Amino acid sequence: MNLVKQSVVSLVIISLLLVLVSYANNQKALREANEKSENLAPTVEEPITRTPISLVGKLTCLPHKNTDGPQTLECAFGLHGEDGNFYALDFGGKEIPHYSMGKKLRVLGTLTPIEMLSTDFWQRYNVKGIITVSEIIEMK
pLDDT for the residue numbered 49: 84
Closest CA to 101 of 93, 114, 89: 89
Of 2-11, 37-46, 112-121, where does mean pLDDT reach its minimum? 37-46
Q: How confident is the model over 56-99, as pLDDT tens digits?
A: 999 999 988 887 877 677 788 899 999 999 999 998 877 777 88
pLDDT for the residue numbered 115: 87
Strand partners, 104: 58
pLDDT for the residue numbered 69: 74
Q: Residue 87 and residue 84: Cα distance in Å, rounded?
A: 10
pTM: 0.63
Q: How confident is the model over 21-64, as pLDDT tens digits?
A: 666 666 777 777 666 655 565 566 666 788 999 999 999 999 88
